[in-house]
């Protein structure tokens, strides 16, 4: 049976009057006040309602409470048992979720119920809806300027251990054999060799692979590869086994880590060199979605885009994260710019100026962003060309991109586009030979003339490199460093660095709600400043007689 409380209709008597004015003020100016005032009524509980009948069945957990509890769990980085205790006895949580009675039906939620609602939210993709809906509410409530934003990524790790190649092989085989023994014991007893089963399942099987001498690592890895090939070939013809996710992991490790020649009983296996193993290879069979980056390591990385102010910070306008996405660690940052712009455009919070580092600032990304009205401010990758004179020193027509004058003031005899869409400017050989900067110039001498050859991309990159040296660019780009502090706060304040879960769906759910939690925390100061300004405006226009009456009234708490 569906239970949804009405949190919009006001009450005749204040259920929180027993707290007293000082404690009530503390609640109002804390994260619980932000959540209660701005976000509680915006929770999309209708997305959950279809899982429950309005009349039949046992009463569901009150949907606002259930959904809000999952958000607050990630905000405070709590485990499921800690959430059960906190919801039962914490006054701040009761105030944030508008729980006005002390009954078990209102203040108790079991760990099993938490897991059930979490699965529903993940299945329906409500983590993304929650983040976008509630963040847009905060952007509007605090009138946050979204025209200036910055983008960066940070690495996170799921609840998995770091494994070497030997342990990846051993863990994958052991996991498959355990599943096969449990699901298909007849096949296990009939086909699996006893020595193979004993090696991976008997006693502390991990120990024989975790204490391998470095001199024996190559041989051990080869033996593991042969066992892996043996199991894959043995069960290839059994459809019931092929459908097991553990068998698919066997095939994946064999494909990524080994080179197989021949087929059937004639098949042989050779271990690939580490340089040949793709970065998207399996890092741990317990979390097959995780990737590897040579710079950041194993796990996932999170794309974060937030607003910023390039002037003195206004307490009433916090910096909020407007876009969040989770990817395996091997995904390149260059591919994250376009989705970030498109996602914020759909929500009308797209930036006009977007500051990001070198990896996002490729020429294609900058051009596509400019078409969508976004100016990407990012330095170019690599050192500047060795020429003292660059293409940006030439005078160029903005419409045709043709060179009209060289740095020494000479005009070309002819400028045209070739069949390959390159631009060729022809200068007089006599003038170029007499030039003192010839050896540092891009113009190259030929038998009858001097030519400057370039294309539109080379021109754009030269102009960007010249702009990077200006004071204007340095003044704009220096604000990018602020997002490093955001990444640090995500890891220290809401626990995004090392999660309790693994698997892409669970990792994305936890990360998105933790980022939403940081947005809520950032609004505390702005919310307190807003309450103070309302307090001042209220009393400014009241006569002294009314002030004394209000101060002595038992309802003076509602001033806040």
Q: What is the DSSP letter of 37?
A: I
Q: Residue 474, Cα to own-chain centre: how many angstroms?
A: 27
pLDDT in tens, the chain (560 residues): 788 887 877 777 888 888 888 999 899 999 999 999 999 999 999 888 888 878 888 888 899 999 999 999 999 999 999 999 999 999 999 999 999 888 999 999 999 999 999 999 999 999 999 999 999 999 999 999 999 999 999 999 999 988 888 889 999 999 999 999 999 999 888 888 777 777 888 755 555 566 677 778 888 899 899 999 999 998 988 999 999 999 999 999 999 999 998 877 778 899 999 889 998 999 999 999 999 988 888 899 999 999 998 876 665 789 999 999 999 999 999 999 999 999 999 999 999 999 999 999 999 999 999 999 999 999 998 777 666 788 888 999 988 999 999 988 889 989 999 999 999 999 998 888 888 888 888 888 888 899 999 999 989 999 999 999 899 999 999 999 999 999 999 999 999 999 999 999 999 999 999 999 999 999 998 887 766 565 455 445 445 555 455 555 544 444 43
Distance CA 284, CA 160 (A): 7
Domain ranges for the chain, please list them: 17-145+528-552, 165-276, 391-472
Predicted pLDDT at 538: 45
DSSP 454: E
**In angstroms, what is the C-alpha Rg of the chain?**
32
Phi, psi (deg, nearest 5) at residue 103: -75, 155
CB atoms within 10 A of CB 153: 25
Pairwise CA distance, residues 477 & 28, whole Å: 37
Quote the tokens at residue 489.
Answer: 């706060």
C-alpha–C-alpha distance, residues 288 and 245, integer Å: 10
What's the gap between Cα 214 and its chain centre? Answer: 38
pLDDT at 295: 82
Q: Which residues contact 164 (CB under 8 A, 6 or more apart)?
A: none
Residue 173 · residue 230 · CB < 8 Å: no
56 vs 517: CA distance, rounded Å: 35
Q: Would you state the structure tokens that stand for residue 260, as one six-digit string? A: 């197989």
Rounded Cα gap, residues 368 and 500, in angstroms: 38
Residues with Cβ within 8 Å of residue 107, at least 6 apart in sequence: 87, 88, 89, 94, 99, 101
């Amino acid at each position: 049976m569906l239970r949804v409380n009405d949190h919009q209709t006001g009450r005749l008597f204040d259920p929180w009057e027993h707290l007293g004015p000082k404690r009530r003020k503390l609640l109002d100016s804390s994260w619980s006040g932000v959540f209660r005032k701005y976000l509680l009524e915006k929770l999309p509980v209708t997305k959950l309602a279809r899982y429950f009948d309005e009349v039949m069945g046992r009463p569901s957990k009150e949907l606002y409470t259930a959904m809000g509890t999952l958000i607050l769990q990630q905000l405070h980085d709590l485990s499921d048992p800690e959430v059960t205790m906190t919801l039962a006895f914490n006054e701040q949580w009761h105030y944030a979720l508008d729980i006005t009675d002390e009954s078990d039906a209102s203040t108790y939620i079991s760990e099993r119920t938490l897991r059930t609602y979490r699965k529903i939210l993940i299945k329906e993709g409500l983590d993304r809806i929650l983040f976008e809906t509630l963040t847009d509410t905060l952007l509007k409530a605090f009138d946050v300027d979204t025209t200036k934003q910055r983008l960066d990524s940070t690495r996170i790790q799921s609840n998995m251990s770091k494994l070497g190649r030997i342990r990846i092989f051993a863990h994958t085989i052991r996991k498959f054999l355990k599943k096969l023994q449990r699901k298909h014991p007849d096949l296990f007893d009939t086909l699996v060799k006893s020595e193979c089963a004993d090696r991976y399942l008997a006693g502390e099987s991990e120990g024989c692979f975790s204490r391998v001498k470095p001199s024996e690592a190559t041989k051990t890895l080869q033996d593991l590869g042969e066992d892996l090939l043996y199991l894959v070939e043995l069960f290839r013809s059994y459809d019931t086994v092929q459908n097991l996710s553990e068998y698919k992991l066997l095939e994946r490790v064999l494909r990524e880590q080994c080179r197989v020649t021949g087929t059937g009983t004639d098949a042989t296996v050779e271990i690939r060199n580490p340089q040949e193993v793709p970065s998207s290879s399996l890092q741990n069979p317990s979390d097959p979605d995780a990737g590897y980056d040579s710079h950041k390591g194993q796990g996932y990385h999170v794309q974060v885009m937030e607003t910023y102010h390039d002037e003195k910070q206004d307490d009433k306008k916090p910096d909020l994260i407007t876009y969040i996405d989770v990817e395996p660690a091997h995904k390149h940052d260059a591919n994250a710019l376009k989705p970030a712009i498109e996602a914020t455009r759909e929500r009308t919070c797209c930036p006009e100026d977007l500051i990001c580092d070198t990896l996002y600032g490729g020429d294609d990304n900058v051009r596509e962003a400019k078409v969508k009205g976004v100016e990407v401010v990012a330095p170019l990758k690599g050192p500047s060309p060795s020429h003292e004179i660059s293409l940006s020193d030439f005078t160029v027509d903005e419409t045709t991109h043709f060179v009209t004058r060289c740095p020494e003031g000479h005009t070309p005899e002819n400028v045209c586009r070739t069949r390959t869409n390159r631009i060729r400017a022809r200068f007089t050989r006599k003038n170029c030979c007499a030039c003192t900067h010839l050896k540092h110039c891009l113009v190259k001498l030929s038998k009858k003339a001097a030519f400057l050859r370039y294309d539109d991309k080379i021109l754009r990159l030269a102009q960007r490199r010249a702009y990077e040296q200006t004071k204007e660019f340095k003044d704009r780009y220096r604000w990018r460093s602020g997002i490093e502090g955001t990444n640090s706060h995500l890891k220290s304040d809401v626990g995004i660095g090392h999660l309790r879960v693994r698997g892409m769906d669970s990792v994305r759910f936890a990360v998105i709600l933790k980022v939403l939690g940081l947005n809520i925390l950032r609004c505390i100061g702005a919310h307190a400043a807003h309450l103070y300004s309302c307090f001042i405006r209220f009393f400014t226009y009241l006569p002294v007689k009314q002030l004394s009456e209000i101060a002595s009234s038992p309802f003076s708490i509602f001033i806040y």
